[in-house]
Amino acid sequence: MKKGIKKAAIYLIISSIILTVFGCGSQKTVETSAKNKAEPADSIQERRFKLGVGLDEKHSEGQGAQKFKEIVEKNSNGKFNVSLYYNNQLGDDKQTIDNLIGGTQELGVISTSPLASTVKEFGIFDFPFVFNNEQEAYTILDGEVGKTLLDKLPSHGLIGLGYWENGFRNLTNSKHPVSTLEDFKGLKIRTMPNKVHLDVFSALGANPTPMAFSEVFTALDSKTIDGQENPLPTIEIHKFNEVQPYLSMTNHVYTPFIFMASKKFWDGLSDEEKKIIQEAVIEAGKYQRELNIEQNKKSLENLKAAGMQVNEVSDEEKEKIKAVIKPVIEQHSKEIGEDLTQKMYAEVEKARKK
């Protein structure tokens, strides 16, 4: 009897152990299965895409593009591969816009001025003497006005991911120093193909000549044109000082870069992929802006050392210039949108009072 009881007890113990082990195993399997079902499949795919920029790898724009590539490839665990194309290798700003709309190019960084021919509201950044410094510009670009403009791009087949910095434009020429309103008269000045630029320089008595950037140095060298206007790092990197003895610190227009994506490309990305690219644009953009300010200061020193005759334009003369071009700005404000224009100026004034 005792022997039978002992065997029964052993059987119960063994059965309990088997049930515990396999029961736990089954529960664990169910939990794991449920967990796997709840987790989405990896939403970052292997992708290769092109990023085109207008300037070279020495410029802050080119270095910002390198930083973007580094961040994106790292944060995608190497699944994204970015090919960089400098010096408008994929086309100038207008061609880049067309490439992005058509989906033959995934990403591009361009100046906002050529974009105004596609989305007129971007023309507000071509109004002269809006900003006194970079921080005022950032307030507008990174605020409500900047977002309002980005929101207008998708209907044109474009996605705006953030603003980088081209910077304050200054005038160079081969004729004489430009320090007064009168000094503009008769100068044949290359401008971007932008109506605000053309009308402003015409009002000042100059002869504005729209021209592709790639043609500018040759035109300056051959005296086909007398001068051009660009931020200081661009003037230095492209050696305009070799054919332009005079540099006038007009700081007449602050031009942003805009980092854009093709909507056709963007719509094919997962939310996680979009987040990686968007965050990289912002992070690399902060780096690029800081670098551009440093390059601006250094370029001025280098251009002076290279022999350029540099002159300032007094506040008094700037007020005269503003008075002459005021009707031009008022006219373009009506065409672009008076509400948006007034909003920009109001936000700038608010920033100055802080």
Q: What is the DSSP string of 77-132?
A: TT-EEEEEE-TTTT--HHHHHHHHHHTS-SEEEEEHHHHTTTSGGGGGGGSTT--S
Look up residue 56 and give its two tokens.
């070279």
Place of tokens 């008769």: 186
Indicate if the pLDDT at residue 29 is higher than 80.
Answer: no
Reply yes or no on domain 47-353 having CATH 3.40.190.170. yes
69-128 pLDDT tens trace: 999 999 999 999 999 999 999 999 999 999 999 999 999 999 999 999 999 999 999 999
For the chain, what are the domain ranges?
A: 47-353
Give Cβ neighbours of residue 17 (< 8 Å, ≥ 6 apart).
Answer: none
170-221 pLDDT tens trace: 999 999 999 999 999 999 999 988 899 999 999 999 999 999 898 999 999 9
274-330 pLDDT tens trace: 999 999 999 999 999 999 999 999 999 999 999 999 999 999 999 999 999 999 999
Look up residue 259 and give its two tokens.
């980092």
Query: What's the CA gap between 158 and 121, in Å, rounded?
Result: 15
132-170 pLDDT tens trace: 999 999 999 999 999 999 999 999 999 999 999 999 999
Q: Whose CA is closest to 229, among 237, 218, 240, 215? A: 240
Max alpha carbon distance in the chain (Å)?
Answer: 125
Query: Cα dihedral sign for 81, 84, 90, 94?
Result: positive
pTM of the model: 0.86
> How many Cα neighbours within 13 Å face the side chain of 334?
5
